Amino acid sequence: MAINTVMVIGAGQMGAGIAQVFAQSGFDVKLNDLQEEALEKGRAGIEKRLTRAVEKGRMTEDEKTGRLSRLATTTTLADAHDCDFVVEAVVENMDVKKKVFSELDTHAPAHAILASNTSSLPITEIAASTKRADQVIGMHFMNPVPVMKLVEIIRGLQTSDETYQAIEDMTKQLSKTPVEVRDFPGFVSNRVLMPMINEAIYTVYEGVAEPEAVDEVMKLGMNHPMGPLTLADFIGLDTCLYIMEVLHEGFGDSKYRPCPLLRQYVQAGWLGKKSGRGFYQYES
Ligand code: NAI
């Protein structure tokens, strides 16, 4: 099945990046959000990144104009009526996602594949809110989307082989690398990453080392480009806590219990870079 026209739902940090990557790979893109302001902000961000690429000589002005001309914006889900593929990147909340998928199911053509960019919610449950569960799949892009090569492709229990193959092929068309995983809490990326971040927080909580020392050990000792606490601040400590809770609840195993210090920082509103303070302080 040929995928030509796509809709991206949610024009936030991830959705705008995903829309950009599709537009620059030759797809016609409709970017959807509830709010006009979010669409304007998303589009302005894309334009800014493309302008920077022109300035750096990585793209011509004509290419930039061509890419922007393939990008439309809409606040109406019914505009999915002529889309071959839809990817959802709205807030990480199961009720909101289920509502989007069941509505989308009534608007998107029968052949369309529906994907979610969720970082932790079960694809199988999202798929069950539609009448085409075999055509629903997880497509977990990494942040920042235009830069990061990986797309974790999550097969729900009901995802068909045909759907998986179409999405694997499409991911390669985006010049990204697909990796196939099954639908279990945290998939692979967050199941491996988050316990490491949580353990780094435990070492601070237990007074083993200061945050700077923990990050230095992991950077210089393990060759990580960024220490786990710097990374946690970048991701957002509320997001880290949320994903640890998904792992803890999903597996029922105490090895995934969130560190009390992480919980306390979130209670204090110390959410990392976005709030100006996490394990480190940031200029506002
Ligand atoms: P964000 O908060 O930046 O953007 C969410 C956007 O969705 C907002 O513009 C909001 O207005 C819009 N929205 C909310 N409900 C909507 C609805 N019913 N219909 C249309 N638009 C709606 O969030 P972000 O960070 O872009 O995350 C989006 C998804 O991507 C989440 O599921 C998150 O778990 C996942 N994700 C996030 C990563 C990150 O590093 N931020 C990395 C990988 C996945």
Q: What is the ipTM of this complex?
A: 0.98
CATH 1.10.1040.10 domain locations along the chain: 190-274
Check: pTM over 0.90? Answer yes or no.
yes
pLDDT tier, 1 (very low <50, low <70, confident <90, very high otherwise): confident
User: How confident is the model over 40-84, as pLDDT tens digits?
Assistant: 999 999 999 999 999 999 999 999 999 999 999 999 999 999 999
- Ligand 1 binding pocket (C-beta < 6 A) is 9-15, 32-35, 38, 89-92, 96, 100, 117-119, 140, 143, 235
Fold of 5-182: Rossmann fold (3.40.50)
- In the chain, the percentage of residues whose pLDDT exceeds 70 is 100
CATH 3.40.50.720 domain locations along the chain: 5-182
User: How confident is the model over 255-266, as pLDDT tens digits?
Assistant: 999 999 999 999
> How confident is the model at residue 266, as a pLDDT?
98
State how far the alpha carbon of 261 is from the alpha carbons of 110, 189, 207, 230, in Å.
Answer: 48, 23, 11, 15
State how far the alpha carbon of 59 is from the alpha carbons of 49, 62, 68, in Å.
Answer: 11, 8, 13
Give 260's contacts (C-beta < 8 A, 6+ positions apart): 205
Cα of first residue to Cα of last residue in the chain, in angstroms, is: 48
Evaluated on CA atoms 203, 269, 45, 121, the torsion sign reads: positive
Structural contact between residues 146 and 21, judged by C-beta atoms closer than 8 angstroms: yes
User: How confident is the model over 14-52, as pLDDT tens digits?
Assistant: 999 999 999 999 999 999 999 999 999 999 999 999 999
What CATH number labels 190-274? 1.10.1040.10
The answer on pLDDT for 212 being more than 90 is yes
| Residue type at 110 in one-letter notation | A
Q: Binding site: which residues?
A: 10-15, 33, 92, 97, 119, 143, 274
